[in-house]
Structure 1
Amino acid sequence: MKHLIQHGLMFGNLFHVSSPALVERYNRALQHLTGKTTALTDFHVDISGYSPEIGDELGDDLYLNHKGVNRQFILLSTEQKGAPLLNAQFSVNRDILRRFIVDNERQLFALTATDAVAGELVNSVFEIDSPARLFDIHKIQIEADTTKGTLRHAAHLGALVDRFKGEDDGWFDDVLIAEMITTAKQTGDITRNPVTLKHEAFGQDNFWTAHFGGLYLFQSLAHPALIASGTKPTDELPIKYVFDLDERSRIAKFLDYNDLVEPVVKARGVDGEAILRQKMDFIAADALAAKGHDLTGLHRSKLRRLTAQHASDLPPEYEGLAAMLRWADSGGKWPRISSEHPAYFYSLRAADTPDRDLVNMLLAELTRLDIRQLFICHKALFYRLYRDWPEAKRAYVVQFLANEYAVDKAGARDALFGHEPDMSGDDAPLGRAGMPKVRARDRLVERVGPWGAVTRERSR
């Protein structure tokens, strides 16, 4: 993994804790949350305050996430909002933490100037001992305060001020006034500088969890389902449809029934053909590395020449995408390939829905040879698979991600997963009779899907 770390592809963008003041604040917060402290004087933390160095020191990678539920966090700086979330047990946790920091950035900036803010992502479940318990999770609340209880004291002072103003003899209550003065020494003037944080409840109906080998739960859709990365749960669950990753046709129908995906070649605002070519390069690199070819420093043109020389070694995923590319690029024969074909899910991306990131994560797991989508959308799986790749593939992947992805992460994500406005409306170029111009190819894709095998029926 050292090559990933050296190129900033693992443990990148972590917040560096090195000053004695920050270490002391971190230890206060860590003691407050877990009863533990660290002897380290220099370490890095993610968006939640988890440190891989401290995890190694304590022999516990979940020291801020006991049993993988109700993640605790330590904020030393609002700069942590740009850090990743390591050892994530739920797909929504990083988004919730980032939104909390952004929504309260001004207040958190002031609070972390003198203290650490410690808290917890709280839901109604404290232990997930069976898959059925996942269905009890519907929203996440954030509880947070400084280690000195600044927010708690501010709320108490506010109540005292209300009493002082509301009681007829408040001016003569020496005990009340003395308590107000004592509390104000801890909080400052809350009338001029109110100390409050927005504690919004975040919905969590559709999510991925690392529990039970990895599960994707879609329970708020018109056609809900649970999809297991490993063995399907055998427990009785409050959901009708449960799939595993081998049930490709059922997953394809689930995605289609809920309008969760769209063909890459139909996607607005992206170069679908270029994306298909890049996916084919990734698939070819995997096949060539497995055959012992050295891919070090291999540029795209040389890779494609080498691919042509070893065409017989290419897997069906490559051949399927090649057929799609011929059709998209030059009007070749329509590729009638079913959803059972290994290339099918490579032709799709998530549609513009609130569950876009979760769907792209699922697609990354279904298309593991697309190393770019795997790295962007499912890092935990990427790192796990990386350990078993041949050295030739590791070198190729690190070179590609460092040279072509990391230099413009935002641009790459937008090119792959961004969504342009629907051009079938008023802004679309007009053809005869004032109707928007729609290519015959787009109409065909809309009618039958990218391969023509998944029906558009709305009943099961």
Structure 2
Amino acid sequence: MKRLITRGLMFGNLYHVDSPALVERYNRALLHLTGKRTALDDFHVDLSGYSPEVGDELGDQLYLNQGGVNRQFILLSTEQKRCPLLNAKFSTSRDILRNFITDNLAQLFALTATDAVAGELVNSVIDISDPRRLLDLRRVVIEADTTTGTLRHAEHLTRLVERFKATDDAWFDDVLIAEMIGLAQKSGDLTRNPVRLDNREYEQRDFWTAHFGGIYLFQSVDKPTVIAAGDVAALDGLAVERVLDLSARNRIARFLDENGLVEPILRARGVDAAAILRQKMDFIVIDAAAGAGLDLENLDRADLRRLARTNADVLPGAYHGLAHLLNWASSGGDWPRITSEDPAFFYTLRAADTPQRDLVNMLLAELTPLDVRQLFICHKDLFYRLYAGWPEAKRAYVADFLAREYQVDKAGARAALFGHEPDMSGEDPPPPPDDLIRRVGPWGAIRRS
């Protein structure tokens, strides 16, 4: 993993806590949430305030996420919204925290100027040993305050002010006035600087969770469906229409199609589909070559074509299916009939422009693990686990590729691969070049004229 860390592909873009004031604020918040403190005077934190260094020191990498539910957080700066979320047990946690910071940016900026904000992503579940509790995770409420209780004092002061306004002869209530003055010293002038956090409730209906070996839960579709990477038998009693495992390729393909959750790359607007297919094929060649113990240093596209020719007999079916599709797309060859049973099928798809887009791309990444770029972008948890077991040559190649091709323009790469960006000219983008695709679908039994 050291190679990934040095290239910024793991633990990258974290917030550096390196001043005594910030360390002390962090310790106050950490003590408030967990009863623990850190002796470190220099460490890095992610979006939630989790620090790998502090986790090592405490011997507990889940010190802010006990049980994997109701994740706690420590905000030292609004700049943490730019950080990744490490050790995420739910795919929605990062977006919820980022939206919370964005929705309350001015208030949190003022609060973190003098103190840390500590809080928790709260739902009705505190234990998830029973998979049926997953269906209760529909809404997350964020509870947060500074370590000195600024928001609590402000709410109390607001109630006292309302009471003062509504009570006759309140000016003669010395106890009430004294209490208001004391609270104002803690919360500040609420008339000029109201202290209140808004938008603290977020919906969570479609999500991935690391629990039970990895589960994709789709609740907002017509027929709620669970797709499990782990043991389906462990989900017995889960009250959803369908429970599928990753090997049920036909049923997963049907589910994605019925709900309009995917689109073929060849139909995607504004992308170079042939280039995307070639890159996926290159990744498959790299995997086969690394498994055969071949040298992967300083390879260019011509070298990869040579490797593909000389090792055609060991290349998996996914490569050959993509090659047929690429031949049709770029050279006018025969139209390939690719069904969901074909190993190449899920490599030819990307998520459609729906609210579940990120979750679907994450699922597709798990279904197409040889596409290491999509795996890294969409499912880092699985990427890191698989990376640890790859041959050294593949680890070196993938790390170099991601640092060279992805890190330099993350937003551009994501937009080209998965995005549904509007045309800035205000005009509709041109239709796909082959009208037959739009009429009969991408996998019809037709031949290109």
The bucket for the TM-score relative to the shorter chain is: over 0.9
1:443 to 436, 443, 446: 436
What is the TM-score of this pair, normalised by structure 2?
A: 0.96
| SS of residue paired to 1:365 | helix
Aligned position for 1:373: 374
Post-superposition offset of 1:314:
1.6
The percent of aligned pairs where both chains have the same amino acid is: 68
Distance in 2 of aligned mates of 1:443 and 1:257? 21
Runs of 4 or more, structure 1, over 2 Å off, are 299-313, 425-429, 441-453
Aligned position for 1:382: 383
Alignment of structure 1 residues 217-296 onto 2, 5 Å? 217-232=217-232, 233-296=234-297
Question: Could you list the runs of 5+ residues in structure 2 that have no partner in the other structure?
Answer: none
Residue 91, structure 1, aligned to residue 59, structure 2: no
CA contact (8 A) 2:33 2:118 kept: yes
CA contact (8 A) 1:213 1:229 kept: yes
Which has the higher mean CA deviation after the structures are superposed, 392-401 or 227-236? 227-236
Q: Tell me: CA distance 1:51–1:59, structure 2 relative to 1, closer, same or farther (3 Å).
A: same
Q: Tell me: CA distance 1:130–1:276, structure 2 relative to 1, closer, same or farther (3 Å).
A: same
Residue 108, structure 1, aligned to residue 101, structure 2: no
Aligned position for 1:408: 409
Q: Quick one: which amino acid aligns to residue 123 of structure 1?
A: N
| SS of residue paired to 1:16 | strand
Alignment of structure 1 residues 63-212 onto 2, 5 Å? 63-212=63-212
Post-superposition offset of 1:223:
2.8
Q: Quick one: which amino acid aligns to residue 400 of structure 1?
A: F
CA contact (8 A) 2:284 2:319 kept: yes
Distance in 1 of aligned mates of 2:152 and 2:445? 60
Distance in 2 of aligned mates of 1:33 and 1:427? 51
| SS of residue paired to 1:194 | coil
Distance in 1 of aligned mates of 2:77 and 2:149? 17
Distance in 1 of aligned mates of 2:435 and 2:196? 52
Q: Quick one: which amino acid aligns to residue 336 of structure 1?
A: R
Question: Could you list the runs of 5+ residues in structure 1 that have no partner in the other structure?
Answer: 430-436, 454-460
Q: Quick one: which amino acid aligns to residue 335 of structure 2?
A: W
Aligned position for 1:12: 12
| SS of residue paired to 1:126 | coil
Aligned position for 1:41: 41
Distance in 2 of aligned mates of 1:336 and 1:449? 9
CA contact (8 A) 1:141 1:199 kept: no
Aligned position for 1:392: 393
What is the TM-score of this pair, normalised by structure 1?
A: 0.93
CA contact (8 A) 2:70 2:120 kept: yes
Distance in 1 of aligned mates of 2:369 and 2:62? 27
Aligned position for 2:363: 362
Q: Quick one: which amino acid aligns to residue 309 of structure 1?
A: T
Aligned residues: 444
CA contact (8 A) 2:131 2:235 kept: no
Distance in 2 of aligned mates of 1:335 and 1:22? 60
Post-superposition offset of 1:161:
1.3
Distance in 2 of aligned mates of 1:126 and 1:61? 19
Distance in 1 of aligned mates of 2:249 and 2:31? 48
Post-superposition offset of 1:301:
3.2
Aligned position for 1:341: 342
Post-superposition offset of 1:300:
2.9
Which has the higher mean CA deviation after the structures are superposed, 159-168 or 393-402? 159-168
Distance in 2 of aligned mates of 1:95 and 1:20? 30
Post-superposition offset of 1:450:
3.7
What do the CA deviations read for 1:266-287 (whole angstroms, capped 9, x no partner)? 1011111110010000011101
Distance in 1 of aligned mates of 2:47 and 2:429? 42
Post-superposition offset of 1:446:
5.3
Aligned position for 2:314: 313
Post-superposition offset of 1:420:
4.2
Q: Quick one: which amino acid aligns to residue 186 of structure 1?
A: K
CA contact (8 A) 1:89 1:209 kept: yes
Q: Tell me: CA distance 1:446–1:132, structure 2 relative to 1, closer, same or farther (3 Å).
A: farther
Q: Quick one: which amino acid aligns to residue 296 of structure 2?
A: L
Q: Quick one: which amino acid aligns to residue 331 of structure 2?
A: S
